Structure 1
Amino acid sequence: MISYHSKPSSLASRMRRAAFALQLFCFLFTHGAIVDQAARLRQFSSSRLEIQCHHKDNKVHGRSHVDRATTNISPQPQDGLKEADKVSELPGQPGPAVFDQYAGYVTVNSTAGKALFYYFVEAAQDPSTKPLVLWLNGGPGCSSLGGGAMLELGPFFVNSDNKTLSANKYAWNNVANMLFLESPAGVGFSYSNTTSDYNNTGDSSTAADAYTFLINWLERFPEYKSRDFFITGESYGGHYIPQLANTILSNNKMANARVINLKGIAIGNAYLDDNTNTRASMDYYWTHAMISRETHQAVQQHCGFNGTYTGDCRTAISAANNELGVIDPYNIYASVCYNASDPQNLHGSAANTDPCAPYYIQSYLNRPEVQKALHANTTGLKQPWSDCSGIITPENWKDAPVSMLPSIQQLISSELSTWLYSGDTDSVCPVTSTLYSLDILRLPTNSSWRAWYSDDDQVGGYVVGYKGLVFATVRGSGHMVPTYQPRRALTLFSSFLQGRLPPE
C-alpha cells in the first residue's frame, strides 16, 4: 500500500519525488498494471509535448486536418450472423434480462483478416421505437466494452468478486438501443491477422474501419437501417466521433441517400485541440488550488500554447503535473485505488463509485466462460483483454489532427445536432478546455447560460445553446460522466436524443 508523509518543502526534495513518480508511472505502464482510458489520454497528451518515459523520438505526429470520405462500400453477406451473435445470458448476470443482447465480430477487411468486436443491448422497453446509438471510448486505443458498457452506462456492472454482475439503474438502454464498438483492431477483443495493421493505425484508418463496421452491422441488423442514429462517447472520442460523423455525411452525399441515418453527436470531456487542452489544464489546476502560484506563473511566462513548446515551457508544465500528488486527475475529488483486492480500502471517495472497478472488469472479461458467452475469438488475440491496448499505443499512433475544431465546424455547417458536455471535476480534459474551444468557434448564442435540473430537483449542471451546438456541464462529475453522475448523465442523454435542452 502507498503511504503518505508530509510534503517535502525543498525544491530538491520535490524534484526527487517527481522523478520517483515518473519512474513509477513508467514501471507500471511497462509491467502490465491497468492503463485505463484516463491514463492513456494523459500519456497521449504528454507524447504530443515530447514528454515521454523513454525519451524516444517516437511522438504521435500531428497533421493538417482533412476529413477523408470513404469510398462507397458494398456490405458483405450477413445471413444468420445476428442469430449466432445473440447472448443468452452473461455469467453472473442478476437474473434474466428484459432486453436482448448480442456480441460478436464484424469483418472490416477480409484480406487482412481484420475484425472489430461489438456488444449490443437493445432498449429495455419498446426497442422498435427507440433510436440506435453508437458509443465510443477514447484513449486512443481503449475499449468501449470495458469502459463504456461495464464501467459507465451499460446494463451491468462487475462486482468486486470479479464473477457476478449487478444491474445499472441508470443504464442508457433505458432510452435507446446501445451499440458498443471496440476500435481500432488491437483494442479489447478486436484483432487483425495482419500484424502490420497494428503499426499503421491512426485517426483516418480508425474512422474508415468504423464506417465499414457500421455498413456491415446494419446489414446484419437490417431493422435498424432507417432508424435514427446517434454517435456518443468521450475523451479521445473528440477525435473519433467528428471524423466518423463527417465520413458518414460525406458518403451519404456521394450516394445521394441517407445510407446511415445520422441525426446527431454528443461528446463528453472531449479532447479537441492540443494547445487549448494543455493551456486549459494548467489554468484548471491553478483555479482549483492544485498548484502553486509560482508554478502557474512559470507556465504563463514560458508557454505560448501555440504549437511550439520550449524546454522552459515543458519544464514548467512538468512541474505543475508533479505538484498534483497522488490523485485521480480525471476526478480531482475522488479516491484512487490502492488495493484492488480490498475494495473497502478507499479513502474519502467523492462519489458512490469504486475506483478499483477497472480491475474487476479486467478479471471478469478474461474469464473463459465470459469470453465464450460473448463469442470472443481469443485465439486471434495477441494479448489478454485489457481496458487499453498494449499494441495500439500513443507511440505508434500514425495520424491525429492538432485540432478537431475545423471538423466540429464542418458538422455544424451540415446542420447536424452537435452537443459537447463536460464533467466539471476533470482536470485533464477540463470544462475550461471546451470553453476555450467555444471561444475559437465564435458561435452566436441562441439560448443564454442557465442551470439545468435532474429529476431529483438538484442542479445537474449548466447549459448554453449556440447556433448549431449545445454545451452543457455536469455538476460534480469527473471525466467519465455516466460513472460519477449516472442520474444526471441519463437526464442529459435523454434531452440530447429528444433534441431539446435539459430541464429548467
Structure 2
Amino acid sequence: MEYSTKETSEKYSNITSLWRANSSSSSVIDAETSPVHVGPQNSLKENDKIEKLFGQPEGVDFKQYSGYVTVDPIAGRALFYYFVESPQDSASKPLVLWLNGGPGCSSLGGGAFGELGPFRVNKDGTLHSNQFSWISEANIIFLESPAGVGFSYTNTSSDYNFSGDSTTARDSYTFLVNWLERFPEYKASDFYLTGESYAGHYVPQLAQLILVHNNHPKKTIISTINLKGLAIGNAYVDFESNMKGTTEYYWSHALISDELYNKIISTCNFSTPSSASKKCNAYLDQIDEEIGNIFLYNIYAPLCNNRSLSSTSISEVDPCLPSYIQSYFNVPEVQKAMHANVTNLPYPWESCNSTLNLSWKDRPLTVLPLLHQLMKSGLRIWLYSGDMDVVVPVTDTRYAIKKLKLPVKTAWHPWYLQGEVGGYVEEYENLTLLTIRGAGHFVPTYQPNRALAFFSHFLSGKLLPKE
C-alpha cells in the first residue's frame, strides 16, 4: 500500500491488484506463545550510538542510535532500526514504534526521513531539521521489517518464501523484546504502536501478540511490554471497505466518470473477491485510463520531474523527496555512520521491496475482528486519515468503521489549530476517527504541524479543540 521510488505509484495502488490478490480470509494471526529468542545485549547499545549522521545540520541536541537486532540466530535474520530520543525529558516521555506499510516498505525511508523523524533529506544529499518532528513528544523507534526491507536481512534465502503478516508480527515482537533488553531504561515506559497504510495489518497484529505474551501464565524471562494504544494513518484494514471507499473517492473527487462509477458499483461484488467477474475486472482496469498520470498518494500534489526544484521549507514538499532519500541511504558514509549494511548486501537500499510485496504469503482480507478484540482490551485506538489520499482514502476508513457498528460518543465536528480547521473528528466507543485536512497518504509529510498536533493529543488521550 506504499510506493517505491523506482515504480510508478500505480504499482501498489492499482485497485485491480488488490482485487486479484491471493488473500486469505483469516483476520487473526496465530498468536503463538512459543519461546522467543532473547539474545545477550551487553554493550550493544553503545555500539549503536550515532556520533553524527552524514550531512547532519549543526545544533542537534538529542541522542540517536541505529543498528541490527537479531531475531533468529539460526537463520541469521536481523532487523535494522533507527531510534531517536526526545530532546527534552526523554525518561518521562513514552516509547513509540513506527511502522511503514507496503507490505515491504521501509520505515527508515518513510517515517524517519520523509515524514515524522528529526530530519528531511535535501537534493544535495545533506539533511535539514524537521521542526515538527514527533520526537518532541516521544522517543521513537523506526523499524525496517520484515527481513528483506531496507537494510534488514536474512542469511537464509528461503525465509523470503514465508514472508507474510504472521512472520512479520512474530519477528517484530522478537525485535521489541530484544531491543528492550538493549535499552532496559524503557522497559517501564508507556508504549504505543503507530504506522500507516498496510501497518493497518502490522500494528493490530503486533498488538495482539504483545497482549498474548503479556498475559501468558508461563512467561518467564520476557518482560511485559506496557502497551497503551495504537494510532494508524490511512489504515488498510478491510479489503471490501478499501475497494468500495477507493471507487467512491475516485468518483466524488471527479477523477472518473459517472458512467464508469455506475458500472463498477452495479457489477462488482467487493465482498467476494475470489469470484470477481471478467466484466468487473474490465471496468476496474479502466480506472487508470480515466484518471491519467497523477500522484495517487496525494491527488493534488505535483509529480517529480527534472524541472522540480529542491525545497528546504518544511511546508513546501519537494515531489522528488523520495528520490533524494533513495540516494541518501546508498551513500557509503551514510551507511557507516548508521552501522548499516554490515554484511555488504548484494543489492542497493530501496524504499520498498516490490518482490517481497508480490510474494507475500498471508494477507488477510480483514483485520476488523482483530481490531474489535483490541478495543475490548482497553487500548486507546485512533485511526487518522489524510483527506487527499486515494490509495487508502478516508472513505475507506469510514466504511470500515461502519462495519464495526460502534456507538458514537462524540459526534462529528471540526477540530482547530491556530484558528483554522485542521480536520474533523468523531469519537466512537473505544475508537476515534480523525482526519487531517490537506494531507495525503503520508500525513506528516504534507501537514507536519497538524500531524504533530494530532500525535500530541493522541498520546494524552484528549480530543483536539473544537475552536
Partner of 1:167: 129
Retained in 2: the 8 A contact 1:89–1:96?
no
Partner of 2:326: 362
- Among 182, 191, 196, which residue is 1:229 paired with? 191
Retained in 1: the 8 A contact 2:28–2:367?
no
Partner of 1:337: 304
SS of equivalent residue, structure 1 residue 278: helix
**1:62 Cα deviation after fit:** 1.9
Partner of 1:297: 262
Retained in 2: the 8 A contact 1:134–1:232?
yes
SS of equivalent residue, structure 2 residue 433: strand
Retained in 1: the 8 A contact 2:238–2:366?
yes
How far, CA to CA, are the matches of 2:334 and 2:261 in structure 1? 48
**1:49 maps to 2:24:** no
SS of equivalent residue, structure 1 residue 330: coil
**1:60 Cα deviation after fit:** 3.3
Retained in 2: the 8 A contact 1:191–1:380?
no
Partner of 1:493: 455
Partner of 1:34: 6
Retained in 1: the 8 A contact 2:45–2:183?
yes
Aligned AA (2:172): A
Partner of 2:200: 238
Partner of 1:468: 430
Q: CA RMSD in A?
A: 2.0
SS of equivalent residue, structure 2 residue 343: helix
TM-score normalised to structure 2 length: 0.94
Alignment of 1:56-67 (within 5 A): 59-67=21-29
Partner of 2:421: 459
Please identify, of 233-242 and 256-265, the stretch whose mean Cα deviation from structure 2 is larger.
Answer: 256-265
Aligned AA (2:149): V
**1:413 Cα deviation after fit:** 1.2
**1:318 Cα deviation after fit:** 1.4
Retained in 1: the 8 A contact 2:192–2:228?
yes
Partner of 1:3: none
SS of equivalent residue, structure 2 residue 96: strand
- Among 81, 100, 112, which residue is 1:118 paired with? 81
Alignment of 1:240-259 (within 5 A): 240-255=202-217, 259=224
Retained in 2: the 8 A contact 1:198–1:391?
no
Partner of 2:349: 385
How far, CA to CA, are the matches of 1:40 and 1:221 in structure 2? 38
SS of equivalent residue, structure 2 residue 215: helix
Structure 1 residues 88 and 39, CA gap change in structure 2 (3 angstroms)? farther
**1:68 maps to 2:39:** no
Retained in 2: the 8 A contact 1:63–1:399?
no
**1:115 Cα deviation after fit:** 0.1
Retained in 2: the 8 A contact 1:226–1:261?
yes
Structure 1 residues 380 and 247, CA gap change in structure 2 (3 angstroms)? farther
- Among 261, 277, 283, which residue is 1:310 paired with? 277
Please identify, of 63-72 and 490-499, the stretch whose mean Cα deviation from structure 2 is larger.
Answer: 63-72
Q: Deviations over 1:111-163 (max 9, x none)?
A: 0000000000000111011000000000000000000000001001110112x
Structure 1 residues 64 and 178, CA gap change in structure 2 (3 angstroms)? same
**1:380 Cα deviation after fit:** 4.7
- Among 385, 406, 418, which residue is 1:443 paired with? 406
SS of equivalent residue, structure 1 residue 87: coil
**1:448 Cα deviation after fit:** 1.3
How far, CA to CA, are the matches of 2:444 and 2:363 in structure 1? 26
Aligned AA (1:496): F
**1:427 maps to 2:390:** yes
Partner of 2:55: 92
**1:139 maps to 2:102:** yes
Retained in 1: the 8 A contact 2:97–2:142?
yes
**1:391 Cα deviation after fit:** 4.1
The percentage of counterpart residues that share the same residue type is 53
- Give unmatched runs, 5+ long, in structure 1: 1-28, 51-58
SS of equivalent residue, structure 2 residue 200: helix
How far, CA to CA, are the matches of 1:86 and 1:42 in structure 2? 37
Retained in 2: the 8 A contact 1:211–1:248?
yes
How far, CA to CA, are the matches of 2:433 and 2:425 in structure 1? 6
SS of equivalent residue, structure 1 residue 470: strand
Retained in 2: the 8 A contact 1:47–1:60?
no
How far, CA to CA, are the matches of 1:95 and 1:70 in structure 2? 47
Partner of 1:190: 152
Q: Deviations over 1:342-398 (max 9, x none)?
A: 43299xxxx7111100110111110000000000125352310010014412x2100
Q: Deviations over 1:240-283 (max 9, x none)?
A: 00100011011111148871000000000001111110111111
How far, CA to CA, are the matches of 1:256 and 1:127 in structure 2? 33
Partner of 2:251: 286
**1:96 Cα deviation after fit:** 3.9
**1:64 Cα deviation after fit:** 1.6
Partner of 2:225: 260
Retained in 1: the 8 A contact 2:375–2:430?
yes
How far, CA to CA, are the matches of 2:235 and 2:228 in structure 1? 19
TM-score normalised to structure 1 length: 0.87
Partner of 1:12: none
**1:39 Cα deviation after fit:** 5.2
Retained in 2: the 8 A contact 1:41–1:140?
no
Aligned AA (1:279): K
Aligned AA (2:230): I
SS of equivalent residue, structure 2 residue 291: coil
Partner of 1:56: none
**1:41 Cα deviation after fit:** 3.5
Structure 1 residues 41 and 237, CA gap change in structure 2 (3 angstroms)? farther
**1:46 Cα deviation after fit:** 3.6
SS of equivalent residue, structure 2 residue 216: helix
How far, CA to CA, are the matches of 2:47 and 2:244 in structure 1? 49
- Give unmatched runs, 5+ long, in structure 2: none
Aligned AA (2:363): A
**1:209 maps to 2:175:** no
**1:322 Cα deviation after fit:** 2.0
SS of equivalent residue, structure 2 residue 114: helix
Retained in 2: the 8 A contact 1:332–1:425?
yes
Retained in 2: the 8 A contact 1:40–1:388?
no
Partner of 1:54: none
Q: Deviations over 1:299-329 (max 9, x none)?
A: 1121121123211111111112321111011
